[in-house]
Amino acid sequence: MRIDSLILRTAVRLVLPLTVLLAIYAALNGHNAPGGGFIAGLVTTVGLCTYRMAFGERAFHRLFPVHPRWLVVAGLGLTLVVAIIPLLAGEPLLRSASTVLRLGGQELHLVSATVFDLGVLVVVVGVAVGMITRLGEELGP
């Protein structure tokens, strides 16, 4: 499915980086402000889908060369690792840890749950993009 429009292509070229930035911001900041892995994942997916619509399947494959299933595998693996690490320390599953990082006067509050959220993001992107591209491929070029 492709919409052949110069305006759309130009717009998408501008918007896609912004969407990705927004998603990363939402994922990292989700613990303290609206956002989080699910939202970030869906935002990324919408951005990628518009790109696919504007530029077609081939261009999309150049942008997104891996099969989405590897994203799902990676995301699930990441969340599982975060979930299991506390077990090794004798803590309950998924017990979160946090540290405060000082970077040039700025305090950065790092929570292990954020990593978990990143895993969620990756899974959501993998699943959503995977489903849409798969169904899109069925339609043919």
Partner 1 sequence: MAPADPSLVLAAVGAPVVAGLATLLIPRAQNLARVLLAACGPAASLLLLGVHLTRYGVAPNHAGTTSINWVPSLHLDLSFLVDGLGAFFALLVAGVGVLIVFYSRGYFGNDASSLARFFPALGFFTSSMLGVFLADHLLLTALFWELTSISSFFLIGWERDDETAVKRAMQAFFTTGFGGLALLGGVLLLGDTTGVWRWSDLVATASEIGSSGTVVAAFVLIFVGAASKSAQWPLHYWLPGAMLAPTPVSAFLHSATMVKAGVFLLGRLLPVFGLLTIWLPLVVAFGAVTMLLGAGLALRQHNLKLIFAYLTVSQLGLFVCMYGFGGVTDGHGGSAIDWDLSQIASHGLYKAPLFLIAGALAHRLGTRRLPELFGLWHRGVSGSRVLVVVLLAASYALAGGPGTVSFVAKELFLGAAHHAAASHPALLVVVAMAVLAAACNVAIVVRLVATVFGWRLGVRDDLPGRDVVHGKDRWGPVLWVPAAGLVLVQYIGGLLPPVWNSVFRRLEVNVNDEAFTDGLPWLWEPFLHPGAPLAMSLAAIGLGVVLGCSQRMRGDIVDVHDRIYPVTYRLILQYGHRAFHGIQTGHLRHYLVFVFTLLLLGISWAAWVDPAMLRLPDGVAPFESLTGLLLGAVVCAAAIALPLVTERVVRVLVLGASGFAVVGLYLLYQAIDLALTQLMFEIISVLLFLLVLRLLPRLDRRPLISPRPRLALAALVGITIGWMTLLAGHAADQRTNEAVTLGAFFEEHSLHGTEVTDGRGGEGRNIVNVILVDFRGFDTLGEITVLATAALGVWSMLPGRRRHRNDEGQPGTIAAEVER
Partner 2 sequence: MTTVLAICVTVMVTVSVYLMLSRELKSIAMGVFLLGHGANLAILAMSGSPVLPWGGLRQPPILGGEHLVDALPQALILTAIVINFAVMGFFLTLLIVTARKTGTLNVDELAGEEPPRSSPELASEPAPVAGLETRSVAD
Give residues in contact with partner 1 (CB under 8 A).
1, 26, 30-39, 42-43, 45-46, 49, 68-69, 72, 75-76, 79-80, 83, 93-96, 98, 109, 111, 113-114, 116-117, 119-120, 123-124, 126-128, 130-132, 134-140
Which of partner 1, partner 2, none does 74 bind, CB closer than 5 to 8 A by kind?
none
Residue 140 found at the interface with partner 2 (CB under 8 A) = no
Phi, psi values for residue 31, rounded to 5°: -75, -25
* 57 Cβ contact partners less than 8 Å away, ≥ 6 residues apart: 2, 133, 136, 137, 141
The whole-angstrom separation of Cα 140 and Cα 131 is: 15
Q: Is 63 in the site for partner 2 (CB under 8 A)?
A: no
CB of 105 to partner 1, least distance (A): 21
Q: Pseudo-torsion of CA 104, 108, 110, 116, nearest 10°?
A: -110
